[in-house]
Amino acid sequence: MTWLITGGAGYIGAHVVRAMTEAGEQAVVYDDLSTGIAERVPDGVPLAVGSVLDGETLAQVLKEHAVTGVVHLAGKKQVGESVERPLHYYHENVEGLRVLLDAVVTAGVESFVFSSSASVYGMPDAGVSGLVTEETPCLPLSPYGETKLAGEWLVRATGRATGLRTASLRYFNVAGAARPDLADTGVFNLVPMVFERLTAGEAPRIFGADYPTPDGTCVRDYIHVVDLAEAHVSTARKLAGAPGGSDLTLNIGRGEGVSVREMAELINETTGYDIPPVVTARRPGDPARVVASAGRIATELGWHARYDVRDMVTSAWAGWVRLHPEAARA
């Protein structure tokens, strides 16, 4: 099969492209390069520059490369920005998906993997187990989360109507890198935010320490980006052998919670810094605990995460130091 990977020059996208090609799959990258970096695309993998809102260019690329499957990662993903610019997020994430699906169906593409997010759950009630399952009610707290949930609905409905084989992958907190040059260049998630503070000689911030958790700070499930990319390969191959109209919804996480304080301490230890975090006010809408149940993906795909949180921090730090050499400790 030939897989078109939208957003394939981005942080997660580049890892998915790498995993696909290393597994022997044919890949084509489609990216508008607004945040993606062309140099991340491996030699021999075609790069088409364009927006998912451009149906004409999409149709041309799908036809030119005889694409049989799509992994859709392109989109806007900053929660805070989505609150400030909801119309922009709905346009980019939902209308862009609609245009892409229209081109996909017209071109006769057989399989479609959608990049969703644990943000669809909002502030979940995980029950006695403390784990969020795929059946946990979805009540997103931000326009970003709403666009991901609406995207899942749109993907599933299109599959039912047309026979397109579909999957929606709900990512938990992604970190780490396969190589320093593929590391995340943004500072929007906890790990790079702590890196940035330490590099500036400032204490990492913990937003609230009075949650109903063992140390009072929020607990999250972290997944190494390499494990995440390999989950895409497993999903793509599962869809390729499935009957028309098949649909999967899967959490991508390790099923293990790590508190913000534990993560800050691990980052200090790994990087060689010794700047204790400071506690500031809670951020509105932060749930106390969001940890995935990873049982369904293990059953459906036989997939299990291979890397732990220390691996994530170590590899992410190598990428950070590559971009910020002044951060390295002697």
State the DSSP string of 16-39: HHHHHHHTT-EEEEEE--SS--GG
Q: What is the mean pLDDT of the chain?
A: 95
Nearest one of 319, 198, 309 to 263, comparing CA atoms: 309
* Alpha carbons 62 and 18: distance in angstroms, whole number: 20
At the fourth CATH level, the homologous superfamily of domain 180-220+255-327 is UDP-galactose 4-epimerase, domain 1 (3.90.25.10)
Write down the H helix ranges in the chain: 11-22, 55-64, 79-84, 86-89, 96-107, 143-162, 190-199, 225-240, 260-271, 295-301, 309-323
DSSP string, 233-260: HHHHHHHHTSPTT-EEEEEES-S-EEEH
* Domain boundaries along the sequence of the chain: 2-175+222-252, 180-220+255-327
Q: Say whether pLDDT at 129 is over 80.
A: no
- Identify any residues that bridge with 71 across adjacent strands, giving them in sequence order: 5, 113
* Strand, helix or coil for residue 168: strand
Which pLDDT does position 127 carry in this prediction? 67
- Active-site annotation, residues: 144
Q: For domain 2-175+222-252, which CATH number applies: 3.40.50.720, 3.40.50.1100, 3.10.620.30, 2.10.260.10?
A: 3.40.50.720
pLDDT tens track for 45-63: 999 999 999 999 999 999 9
Q: Are 32 and 97 in contact (CB under 8 A)?
A: no
Per residue in 131-143, pLDDT (tens digit) is: 999 999 999 999 9
pLDDT above 90: percentage of residues in the chain: 90
Do the domains spanning 2-175+222-252 and 180-220+255-327 agree at the CATH topology level?
Answer: no
